[in-house]
Amino acid sequence: ALALTLIAVPTLAATPGKLVSATPLAGAPAGAKAWRIRYTSRDKDNRPITVSGVVIVPRGPAPATGRPIIAWAHGTSGVAEQCGLSDKPTLFPSIAGLESMLAAGYVVAATDYQGLGNPGPHPYLIGNATAHAVLDSVRAAAQVNRSGAGNRFAVWGESQGGHAALWTGQLAGRYAPDLDLVAVAAAAPPTDLKANLTGGTNGPVRALLTAYTADSWSKTFGLKLSTIVRPVAADLITRLAKNCVTLDGFKTGTKIGLVRLTGQLRGVDITKSPRWAAIMRTNSLPATGFTTPLFIAQGGKDMIVAPTVTHAYMDRLCRAQVQLTRLDMPAGDHVTIGKTTAPATIARIGDRFAGKPAPNDC
């Protein structure tokens, strides 16, 4: 059995990316080692916080230049503190292409994000906060004993994590100039939050995402739910936001609550509130400012992140002359897009680590 010893590291609150602790985890893929970590980061207002996550290291000796890192950004798991993934038995199966990344010799750093697995609130779809958590997980990974991690990394995420990955690409040069970002990959990323949160064809899922967003932003920004919905809907939002996304789905009571909230949200447009609309604009992805090649995958049957929204964003990237590789999966859905596109994504990331020129589909 794997001994769960704790490696304590002094904390410097003013230094983001400082490893606080690393606890060995059981259940990693054969031959690999994993640690649940806690590390310092910065919130949306650049205040010091502590974030949790996991670092997974492949077998074999590390190269002299250090192992490359892939920062994995997970999709929506919830907005409550108990919705972090690093302490869940489903952690390893939830990381798309994990065994392939390890087989290629990469260290995998997977953040929980602020407020998941650690004290909240969780800043759901808030670009700079999630990017900080991703970038600082890469810094912390290099401090885990025997990780052999260097400073070259790629970031890859799905759904909410796709949004986080793209924001990481935006902010890496300014926030973490000590790191060398070679590639940014995103599967089904929300890019235009107004369009993404008010679109989608699955009513209950849209209601859940609205509940997560509204609950998170009300706590993160000190906003009142009464400015966007009636009291009955506000109560439903507060209760539903306590639920985490699981592989087994939701309990019957939660499903009933989602149906009720779907009805309550008919005719409601949260973008009519100037403050809520401003947050959506600020945390939607710009098309300019990228200095690293992008790889974006989108499924044509996605009922959560509308393909038309992602395609419109990719067109904007092309007009901005960003180096972009597109992967359209006509039959792809939202839930499986990360895993179905993993071979292509990991291959393209490998090419970037190898210094090969990135293709451009614009």
pLDDT value at 250 more than 90: no
pLDDT value at 359 more than 80: yes
Q: What is the pLDDT of residues 105-117, one digit of tens each?
A: 999 999 999 999 9
Which residues, in sequence order, are bridge partners of residue 51?
A: 39
Q: Between these two residues, 12 and 281, which has the higher pLDDT value?
A: 281
Mean pLDDT of the chain: 92
Using CA atoms in the order 73, 77, 89, 239, what is the torsion angle rounded to 10 degrees? Answer: 160
Q: What is the pLDDT of residues 173-207, one digit of tens each?
A: 999 999 999 999 999 999 999 999 877 667 788 88
Residues 6+ apart with CB under 8 A from 249: none
Omega within 30 of 0 (cis) for the link into 68: no
Quick one: pLDDT at residue 249? 63
Quick one: pLDDT at residue 5? 44
- Best CA proximity match to 159, nearest among 277, 89, 76, 62: 76
Q: Between these two residues, 203 and 323, which has the higher pLDDT value?
A: 323
| b/e 221-250 (16+ beta carbons within 10 angstroms → b) | eebebeebbeeebbebbeebbebbeeeeeb
At residue 254 the predicted structure's pLDDT band, cuts being 50, 70 and 90, is confident
Quick one: pLDDT at residue 11? 44
Quick one: pLDDT at residue 170? 98
State mean pLDDT over 289-301. Answer: 97
DSSP string, 65-133: T-EEEEEEE-----SSGGG-STTSTTHHHHSTTHHHHHHTT-EEEEE--TTSSSSS---TT-HHHHHHH
pLDDT value at 320 more than 80: yes
Quick one: pLDDT at residue 201? 63
User: Do residues 167 and 285 touch, judged by C-beta distance below 8 A?
Assistant: yes
At residue 293 the predicted structure's pLDDT band, cuts being 50, 70 and 90, is very high
pLDDT value at 166 more than 60: yes
State mean pLDDT over 214-231. Answer: 95
Q: What is the pLDDT of residues 35-75, one digit of tens each?
A: 999 999 999 999 999 999 999 999 889 999 999 999 999 99
Q: Are strands 294-299 and 324-329 parallel, antiparallel or unpaired?
A: parallel
Which residues, in sequence order, are bridge partners of residue 71?
A: 109, 155
User: Do residues 227 and 277 touch, judged by C-beta distance below 8 A?
Assistant: no
- pTM (whole model) above 0.85: yes
Quick one: pLDDT at residue 13? 52
